[in-house]
Amino acid sequence: MLLRLALLHSVSLELTYAMQCDCVGNDREDKRGAEIVFRGTVIAFHQSAKGDRIVVFHVNRVFNGDPPETFEMPAIEAGEACFGFYAPTLGIGNELLVYASSFGSTGPADLSLKCATKLWSETKNIRKLGRGRKPRPK
């Protein structure tokens, strides 16, 4: 019985990841599904105390939430599970549209809508995001 539950859980996670990989994205709906949505430029990387890679953004415009001018989050790159940033987007100087959520934790935000997070230059229907506003000073 325990083995069946473990197998069912594993299959459900894989289906969830597969659906994330295949998502099309709708900027207005994606915006509602994330706690934080911002346009930001990758300015640095560093290691957390736990040894995790962290990406540092200079936030240019905020569409949802209240991130500061400098915002950090785990630099998880998409792998076989199809979760995280696409590796080519995480380069110093790249400008991204980022959708993130903390999922109720007090730690740094994680990517919540991977398919919606992309290079700013590849973002379509920007008007659906709204005008946005400046980030709060740090």
Q: How far apart are CA 105 and CA 10, in angstroms?
A: 23
pLDDT at residue 68, rounded to an integer: 92
**pLDDT tens-digit map of 108-129:** 676 666 666 888 988 877 788 8
State yes or no: pLDDT of 102 exceeds 60.
Answer: yes
Pick 14 or 121 by higher pLDDT: 121
Cβ-contact 37, 62 below 8 angstroms? yes
Q: pLDDT band at 12, cuts 50/70/90?
A: very low
Q: How far apart are CA 103 and CA 79, in angstroms?
A: 21
Mean of pLDDT over the chain:
75
Cβ-contact 93, 73 below 8 angstroms? no
Supply angle C-alpha 53, 99, 19, rounded to 5.
95
Q: How far apart are CA 40 and CA 69, in angstroms?
A: 9
